[in-house]
Amino acid sequence: MNDKAKKKVLVLLGSPRKTGNTAILAQEIASGAESVGAAVETLYINGMDIKACQACWTCQKEESKGCPIDDDMQTIYHKLSEADSWVIASPVHWFNMSTQTKLWLDRCFALQKYGENPFRKKIAIAMSFGDTDPFTSGCINAIRSFQDSFRYVGAKIVGIVYGSAMNPGDISGNADLLKAAKELGKKL
């Protein structure tokens, strides 16, 4: 397959732990995608300069060229727009998605200025939480936020994998979950 025909998958690691539980799940999804010929790029969001949306609404004006904040999001906008699929990896922090994930997601308000159909994506979500239950952990709050957000912009969530794990690497003990993550990657 030549490079142009390859599907582009962009992985957004939303944990400060670069090799933590959600990064492991994201890696399995990436490996599934690569096994069917996709090209994967991974961004460690915590190491990037992404400021919070300032609610200036500049990006919503008809003549606007995009978000006026000059930070790493300017590069990320183009990567988000060019990718066929996004893999969103986020731990549960305080009963919702991580701050790192919410930062870039809020900034997607401006994404419409960075491509023809910037939200026509397939989306895979990977989450982990320290509690034993997806409801009491707050994982379901995050999933609801993703579902509402992507329904609003017309993107398609093709699958969500999540599991309980507290310490970095604990998720590796959940073989069924890793397998589900790899299978999810094949759908991207």
- Summarize as ranges the residues that interact with ligand FMN (CB under 6 A): 15, 17, 20-23, 91-95, 128-131, 137-138, 165-166, 168
Residue nearest to ligand FMN (CB): 20
- The distance of closest approach from Cβ of residue 143 to ligand FMN in the complex, given in angstroms and rounded to an integer, is 13
In the bound state with ligand FMN, the residue whose beta carbon lies nearer, of 128 and 174, is: 128
Minimum distance from residue 126 beta carbon to ligand FMN (Å): 9
Tokens of 18: 């670069």
Tally of helices (H runs) and strands (E runs) in the chain? 5, 5
The continuous run of DSSP H or E covering 21 comes out as: helix 21-35
**Between 94 and 152, whose beta carbon lies closer to ligand FMN?**
94
- Residue 132 beta carbon to ligand FMN: minimum distance, rounded to whole angstroms: 8
C-alpha closest to that of 87 among 133, 23, 16, 17:
23
Structure token pair of residue 59: 């990006």
Which of these, 108, 86, 73, lies nearest to 40 by C-alpha position? Answer: 86
User: Smallest distance, Å, CB 145 to ligand FMN?
Assistant: 14
